[in-house]
Amino acid sequence: MRIDIITCLPALLEGFFSTSIVKRAMDAGTVTVNIIDLRDFGIGKSRQIDDYAFGGGAGMVMMIEPLVDAIEHLQSERSYDEVIYMTPDGELLQQQITNTLSLSENLMIVCGHYKGIDERVREKYITREISIGDYVLSGGEIPAAVLSDAIIRLIPGAMNDETSALTDSFQDDLLSPPVYTRPADFKGVKVPEVLLSGNFKLIEDWRTEKALERTKERRPDLWKKTL
C-alpha cells in the first residue's frame, strides 16, 4: 500500500512516521508513506498557500491552485482508491472504515489548515471526508496520522503479531477484555485463576464474558448492536 499525504506541516508527520510502530511496516516494504509539502506548490516567492475568505470573516482559507497542483501532480503518477480530506465535518472514523481502507492500493490524504480548503477542491477532487471525532484540532495532520496508523496496523505483516489486530476492540463491536502479564501475583493482587489454567476453551469463554461485561458497562451504544 502507498499513502500520499499533502500537508503544510511536513515535519510533524515525518516525525510521527519515522518513529512510530508503522515504521516497521514501512521498513518491511509493506507500506510506503510519502509526505508532500504543499508549500512546494505554493504561489510566488513566499510560496503562498492561503488567502482571505470571500465574504469576509475571521480565518484564512487554503488556496485552490497549490492544492489542485499537488493533487493533480500525484494523480498524474498513479490512480487512487480514495482522495481523503481530514475534516471535522466528515464521516466519523470507525473501525469498519479502516478495515475497508486497509484493502486499498493507493490512498491520498489531504490535511486542512486554517478555516479549511476551498470548497471547489472538495467538490471536484475529494472522494471521502473523514473526521476523527467531534472536536476541532488546529490542522489535519494529527487526524491523518491517526487514520494512517489505524489502517497500516491492519495490513498483514505490519504488526508483531498478525492475529492481534483482528482481536482489537471494535472489530466485533465489543470492547476488549482485560489483559494481564507476569507476575501472576503482584503485591497480593492476583491474575484471574482461569488465565493460568491452560484450558483454552475456558479462557476464551472468560474473555468473551469480560468483553460483553465491559461493553455493557462502558459503551451501552455498542452493547445494543450486539443484541
- Rule CB under 6 A: choose which of 6, 132, 150, 165 binds ligand ADE: 132
For residue 54, give the C-alpha cell: 470571500
Query: Would the annotation count 137 as a binding residue?
Result: yes
| Residues that contact ligand ADE, how many (by CB under 6 A) | 12
- Side chain identity, residue 121: V
C-alpha cell read off for 176: 476488549
Q: Does 42 bind ligand ADE (CB under 6 A)?
A: no
Give the residues across from 35 on adjacent strands: 5
Nearer to ligand ADE, 135 or 200 (CB): 135
188 marked as part of a ligand binding site: no
Contact 17, 35 (CB under 8 A): yes
Binding ligand ADE by CB under 6 A: which of 10, 66, 88, 177?
Answer: 88
- Distance from first CA to last CA of the chain, Å, rounded? 36
Task: Output 136 or 189, the one with its CB closest to ligand ADE.
Answer: 136
**Residue 200 is inside which H or E element, if any?**
helix 200-218
Nearer to ligand ADE, 12 or 159 (CB): 12
Residues 93-122 that bind ligand ADE (CB under 6 A): 112
Query: Measured between alpha carbons, how far is 113 from 167 in angstroms, rounded to an integer?
Result: 35
145 binds ligand ADE (CB under 6 A): no
In the bound complex, what is the minimum distance in angstroms from residue 163's beta carbon to ligand ADE?
30
135 labelled binding-site residue: yes
Comparing CB distances to ligand ADE, the nearer of 7 and 102 is 7
Instruction: Determine which helix (DSSP H) or strand (DSSP E) holds 96, and give its type and residue range.
Output: helix 95-101
Cα–Cα nearest to 31, from 129, 150, 166: 150
What track of x and - describes contact with ligand ADE for positions 164 through 203 (by CB under 6 A)? Answer: ----------------------------------------
CB 129 within 8 A of CB 135: no
Interface with ligand ADE by CB under 6 A: which range of 36-44, 53-61, 130-138, 200-208? 130-138
Q: Are the CB atoms for 9 and 139 separated by under 8 Å? A: yes
What DSSP state is assigned to residue 90? E
Alpha helices in the chain (DSSP H): 10-19, 22-27, 64-75, 95-101, 119-124, 141-152, 200-218, 220-226
Binding residues, as ranges, are: 112, 132-137
**Sites of contact with ligand ADE (CB under 6 A):** 86-88, 112, 131-133, 135-137, 140, 143
Binding residues for S-adenosyl-L-methionine, as ranges, are: 112, 132-137
